[in-house]
């Protein structure tokens, strides 16, 4: 027997991030106009015959046109990957160093000066999220049609601040599979559903979201390959949503963004805290053999 599934491929030729290096010495940041490349699209002759539209207006129209061509078998999405602002755990890791963080500090909830279990944003992290809001406020790039966030507090708060001007029009959705790498690190253990609903009422919480965190284990850390499988499942869910979605925003974590890069065939580029990284992803239906 055969069944069909979505296969995801990040596209080159649309953003200057094409040339980003795969190096931990590098951090991708939010670029002017999100680094959109100056180029023509196949739809320009009809949509913008006099050359009056902006590059972003033309790209958005092109993606929406491609989406309508064969939606049952091919779907296009511009994805804004937002890494949350600096969290309390980031500060502690920088203080003690990566080796000591992994050996001891990541496994406990906090110390006498800070708590980093389901870490919150620092003041600097909130400022970084404000920077995202200011960037979108310029109106130079298209706003997302839909907004999704990891359920961890640092992502929820980043989303609230970054999209504060439009949350009345677009209610963000909490997605469990958008979480950071699971297990061992207490900063990646999420709060209860009831807490999230009470503390962040602007969010819609996806169906099936459990009250307690049933995924995080104190003694087992999810591998990158396992995380990529989870990221692929997330994309399958998000791309199944029909309608006229051309641009989606995902507020996530460094590890989650790496997993999404892996799920779409993109290179493993480290993204700075509080940065917006655009990715154009095309999903196509592919037949796979399944046991009968």
Give yes or no: 84 in active site.
yes
Structural Rg of the chain based on CA atoms: 19
Q: How long, in residues, is the chain?
A: 292
Catalytic residue among 60, 117, 126, 180: 180
Give yes or no: 207 in active site.
no
DSSP-derived letter for residue 19 is G
Non-local CB neighbours of 135 within 8 Å, separated by 6+ positions: 30, 141, 276
Token digits of residue 58 = 């033309």
Catalytic residue among 17, 84, 200, 227: 84
Tokens 């389901």 appear where? 118
Determine the Cα–Cα distance for residues 5 and 121; give it in Å rounded to an integer. 37
Tokens 């963080």 appear where? 101
Q: Dihedral, CA atoms, 117, 123, 129, 135, nearest 10 degrees?
A: -170
Determine the Cα–Cα distance for residues 267 and 232; give it in Å rounded to an integer. 15
Non-local CB neighbours of 152 within 8 Å, separated by 6+ positions: 84, 118, 119, 179, 180, 188, 190, 253
Q: Are 87 and 186 contacting, i.e. CB atoms less than 8 angstroms apart?
A: no
Residues designated catalytic:
84, 180
């Amino acid at each position: 027997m055969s069944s069909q599934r979505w296969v995801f491929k990040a596209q080159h030729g649309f953003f200057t991030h094409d040339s980003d290096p795969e190096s931990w010495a590098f951090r991708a940041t939010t670029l002017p106009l999100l680094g959109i490349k100056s180029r023509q699209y196949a739809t320009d002759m009809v949509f913008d015959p006099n050359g009056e539209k902006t590059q972003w207006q033309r790209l958005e129209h092109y993606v929406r046109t491609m989406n309508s061509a064969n939606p049952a078998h091919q779907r296009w999405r511009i994805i804004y990957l937002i890494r949350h602002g600096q969290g309390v755990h980031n500060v502690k890791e920088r203080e003690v160093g990566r080796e000591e963080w992994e050996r001891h500090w990541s496994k406990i909830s906090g110390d006498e000066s800070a708590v980093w279990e389901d870490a919150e944003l620092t003041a600097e992290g909130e400022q970084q999220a404000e920077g995202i809001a200011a960037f979108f406020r310029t109106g130079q790039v298209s706003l997302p049609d839909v907004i999704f966030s990891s359920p961890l507090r640092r992502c929820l708060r980043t989303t609230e601040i970054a999209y504060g001007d439009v949350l009345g029009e677009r209610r963000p959705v909490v997605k469990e599979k958008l979480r950071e790498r699971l297990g061992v690190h207490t900063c990646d253990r999420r709060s209860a559903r009831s807490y999230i609903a009470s503390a962040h009422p602007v969010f819609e919480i996806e169906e099936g979201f459990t009250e307690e965190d049933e995924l995080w284990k104190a003694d087992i850390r999810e591998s990158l390959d396992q995380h990529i499988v989870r990221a692929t499942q997330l994309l399958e869910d998000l791309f199944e949503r029909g309608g006229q979605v051309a641009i989606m925003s995902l507020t996530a974590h460094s590890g989650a963004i790496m997993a999404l890069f892996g799920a779409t065939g993109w290179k493993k580029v480290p993204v700075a805290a509080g940065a917006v990284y655009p990715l154009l992803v095309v999903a196509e239906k592919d037949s796979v053999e399944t046991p009968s």
